[in-house]
Structure 1
Amino acid sequence: MISFSPIPWHTDHIIEALETAQTPLIAPCTFPKVATDSRTMATQDLFVAIKGETFDGHRFVKPLMDRGVRGFVVESSFFQKLSPAEKKKLISKGISFFCVENTLTALGKLAAFQRNRANVKVIGITGSCGKTSTREMITTIFKQKYKVLTTQGNFNNEIGLPLTLLNLSHDHQWAVVEMGMNHSGELTRLGKIARPDMGIITNTFRAHLEGLGSVEAVARAKSELLPCIRDKGLAILNRDDKRFHIMEEIVERLNIPHCVFGITKDARIRAQEICQKEDSLNFTLHCPGKKGSDSVEITLATPAPAMVENALAAATAALKAGFSLAEIKKGLADFTPVKGRMEILEPGCGIKLINDTYNANPGSMAAALDMISHHTGPTIAVLGDMLELGGKAPILHKEVGQRAAMSGISHLFIHGDMALHVMEGALEKGFPREKIFIGSHPELIKKIIQKLTPQMRILVKGSRGMRMEHIVTALHNHLGEKN
């Protein structure tokens, strides 16, 4: 893998990026990178002391100085508390302090400066489900022709997004970044940092209701990305989303160019003839051509129907960036699901584990259960709580139980505080009580092992905080040993 060195930071660049930074101590020098993690940073890097609700990076400033770090962005209140003797010591060591009102805001300013001077095009992706898969599909397509920076792991929040953009080099041509949120206002802040040339909203579902209250509020919060799109940029929207009208009103009112994807005939980029197979999906991608409509057959290495809309979003971005249908077809064929997101594992005995443990909300739960409903053999669903749903959590978990019962699964295993609500929903739809098991991770693992049969499909899913990946690991190890 080719690696690119981030654009380095001279003290003059830092002062310019931070704009209102007080600079009581400046020793002119250049820093290769910007860092926020004291454990992994190099001594040559610039340390930004992020302060949050449960942590304070200022605690590590003095230990880092002792390690030889020479550059710090700190809050003014921290610097003011230093004694005259300590300040004199800093001067003698040639240490630079850049003092700001808020270091999290400062991190965003540094990232915005890096984004602008790198002169790249940026694709920003948000949505309730499918952000990571869409990002990976776009990256896989674009890497055929361009040098691409992409979000790593879950670096999609007010710390993660800036850290991603701070890795930009002069060699990069595109940046493909995820943008997450759980409260209104967050995407406005992230959007102003990234200023995307293309902004994608994959979908809007009942997620983060604890902080937003309603699914309409979710759609409005996701739509905060749209006004942040650069002039002459493009909004890419899901025509099939039930809240499409909310997004459409914004782009039309603000005169933002936009393109829509979906399965409906109203979508400019659309999928038809969708065929789900045991381990893959096929569909025909249609798009406007020079003479009417062009089309190409697409194959995805996943049986998850929800991946079709992710592929359509990625294809729309690629078409607008000048990629041919053949290049899009190849890129999507090369896509493999990201770990923990509709990831299919084959540990042995013909059994397939569907590891969808990275996160969960009602929309992604429905998509996962829909995927396994097409399997004709025995299936097990192992479901953990969906978090951050507020007062609507009980009814939404009950709905999951109802959907699980109608998906044709053989057994239902449930973990978490909402387990009884899931069971209640399943029972209402006639699912046998003797095939429902509630318990801790170890208890469920033991029961699941007793039910294993060849050719079985096992879906494991829940919110990140439920740590459902531990069940995947245990089952994978058990089956691997048997095999």
Structure 2
Amino acid sequence: MNAEQFYPIFLRAGKVTIDSRTVQKNDLFFAFSGEQFNAAVMADKAFESGALAVIVEQKEYENEAKNIFYVPSTLIFLQELAKYHRNNLNIPIIALTGSNGKTTTKELIHAVLSEKFRVQYTFGNLNNHIGVPLTMLSIRPEHEIAVIEMGANHQKEIEMLCSIAEPDFGYITNFGKAHLEGFGGFEGVVKGKSELYDYLKSNGKTILVNENDSIQLQKTADYPNRITFGKENSQYFFKEFSEKNYVGLAFGSRKIQSKLTGSYNFTNLCAAAAFGLHFGIGIDEIKSAIENYIPTNMRSQIMQKDGKTMVLDTYNANPSSMTESLKNFSSFEGTKTIIIGDMLELGEESEKEHGDILKFAKAMNFDEIMTVGKYFKMVNGSEKAFENTENLIGFLKENKIKSKNILLKASRGIALEKIISFI
């Protein structure tokens, strides 16, 4: 069984899933196995749930009478099927990666392009070696364009994802101090993320470039197929403004007010608007899309609770995004408390980077600083340095925060959003 032979079955299927609990009639179920589980044991159950076909990597579970097929590796077969499907698609694919802002930018691009096209895009954070193939296989004949988010924490990962998605357009949001442990430092981050540029250049595809980013400029210098924004002589020039803690952009005489906080989101808005203009979407439609986009994913999300303004940014954190969040929050009017949690995957740089962030935060004269996690506890001798979220919750049950504004910022693993109901 290879991808070409299996493809007619795929074309008759509903969705592709790797979760046996979600299998419905006419679905394809890929039975992934790991050290702690063997999903192939669920093959018969998936068939009974109505699966059109099941892919297993244990020969003993094969039963072609039930469309249960054996392959040496379910992961490789999933990726090969996604590649084969991509080669049968005739729509533009936009790929984006970067250290910060990938998901917000992806959602903004989707919102803008949906004003004119039927768009498929990465759902949630399915942006890795499994998620990208699943997203590719969710593209159906009715879709006219797709936006694929690519995440990476080591070299060659973006290169591999590009070989699956074969993007026609690409954008790198920025290069920051994220996943330093896997990439081997900041230079490794730049090299790893730039694998998207390498693919686009070698295949004569189009790169979206923020000309205010010196690394993007350097990496795309003299490359002819570019869409540019950021400077007055760029192809598209936007001006930043902010109102009531929300960031917006102006294009000519038109002002577009988003529901996102932080200047760091300005370039995310610009990228979405630039792609929209490139694909022939009018500024009125772009304005409508951006102004109606409401973040609900714990990224730069502003919430009101009991008369307090909370900035919920707990989906991800690294030194670059943490610095920008603190800068932005310092501009809020009124008293301010920050609750910052550990930034993960920094490797041997962890203690230094957490120390630098704490020093930076103290210099901004916030009314109250609380930290959560073992790395911040290493560098924070305060009584408000908590080992974990549960310890902080215990403190908040007895001590209410008095500040008008509260920032929550941490890596996903800290689960800082659990404290919201105790504020």
Which TM-score applies when normalising by structure 1? 0.79
Maintained 8 Å contact 2:310/2:407: yes
118-127 or 356-365: bigger deviation: 118-127
Structure 2 counterpart of 1:271: 238
For residue 360 of structure 1, what is the amino acid of its counterpart? A
1:410–1:319 distance in 2 versus 1, CA, 3 Å: same
The answer to whether structure 1 residue 49 and structure 2 residue 21 are counterparts is no
Structure 1 counterpart of 2:357: 400
Q: Alignment partner of 2:287: what SS?
A: helix
231-240 or 398-407: bigger deviation: 231-240
1:12–1:193 distance in 2 versus 1, CA, 3 Å: closer
1:95–1:279 distance in 2 versus 1, CA, 3 Å: same
Partners of 2:117 and 2:216 in 1: how far apart?
31
1:402–1:168 distance in 2 versus 1, CA, 3 Å: same
Partners of 2:350 and 2:320 in 1: how far apart?
13
Maintained 8 Å contact 1:139/1:148: yes
What pairs up with 1:16-415 in 2 under 5 angstroms? 30-52=12-34, 55-65=37-47, 69=51, 71-75=53-57, 78-79=58-59, 82=60, 90=63, 94-229=65-200, 231=203, 233-244=205-216, 247-248=219-220, 252=222, 255=223, 257-262=225-230, 264-265=231-232, 267-272=234-239, 274-285=240-251, 294=252, 296-348=254-306, 350-415=307-372
Between Structure 1 and Structure 2, whose CA radius of gyration is higher? 1
Alignment identity in percent? 32
Maintained 8 Å contact 2:46/2:54: no
Partners of 2:289 and 2:171 in 1: how far apart?
18
1:55–1:269 distance in 2 versus 1, CA, 3 Å: farther
| Offset, 1:60 | 2.6
Deviation sequence 1:107-145 (CA, Å, 0-9, x none): 122223333434222111111111111111111111111
354-363 or 94-103: bigger deviation: 94-103
1:466–1:202 distance in 2 versus 1, CA, 3 Å: same
| Offset, 1:201 | 0.3
Partners of 1:338 and 1:474 in 2: how far apart?
20
Maintained 8 Å contact 2:299/2:315: yes
Deviation sequence 1:169-218 (CA, Å, 0-9, x none): 21111111211111111111111111122111000101101111111211
Partners of 1:420 and 1:28 in 2: how far apart?
51
Which residue of 463, 469, 475 corresponds with 2:411?
A: 463
For residue 218 of structure 1, what is the amino acid of its counterpart? V
Deviation sequence 1:384-410 (CA, Å, 0-9, x none): 110000101111111111221133311
Maintained 8 Å contact 1:220/1:246: no
Deviation sequence 1:248-272 (CA, Å, 0-9, x none): 25xx4xx56123333x556443433
1:269–1:62 distance in 2 versus 1, CA, 3 Å: same
The answer to whether structure 1 residue 452 and structure 2 residue 397 are counterparts is no
| Offset, 1:246 | 5.3
Partners of 2:328 and 2:93 in 1: how far apart?
32
Maintained 8 Å contact 2:4/2:84: no
Maintained 8 Å contact 1:282/1:297: yes
For residue 237 of structure 1, what is the amino acid of its counterpart? V
1:300–1:63 distance in 2 versus 1, CA, 3 Å: closer
Partners of 1:268 and 1:57 in 2: how far apart?
50
| Offset, 1:333 | 1.8
Maintained 8 Å contact 1:139/1:176: yes
Maintained 8 Å contact 1:70/1:96: yes
Deviation sequence 1:203-252 (CA, Å, 0-9, x none): 01011011111112111111112233395531113333353355325xx4
Q: Alignment partner of 1:301: what SS?
A: strand
1:177–1:30 distance in 2 versus 1, CA, 3 Å: closer
| CA RMSD in angstroms, aligned pairs only | 2.8
| Offset, 1:98 | 4.0
Unaligned runs of at least 5 residues, structure 2: none
The answer to whether structure 1 residue 417 and structure 2 residue 374 are counterparts is yes
1:411–1:172 distance in 2 versus 1, CA, 3 Å: same
Partners of 2:51 and 2:243 in 1: how far apart?
55
Q: Alignment partner of 2:260: what SS?
A: coil
1:239–1:66 distance in 2 versus 1, CA, 3 Å: same
Maintained 8 Å contact 2:101/2:173: yes
| Offset, 1:279 | 3.3
Partners of 2:337 and 2:407 in 1: how far apart?
6
| Offset, 1:332 | 1.8
Which TM-score applies when normalising by structure 2? 0.90
| Offset, 1:414 | 0.7
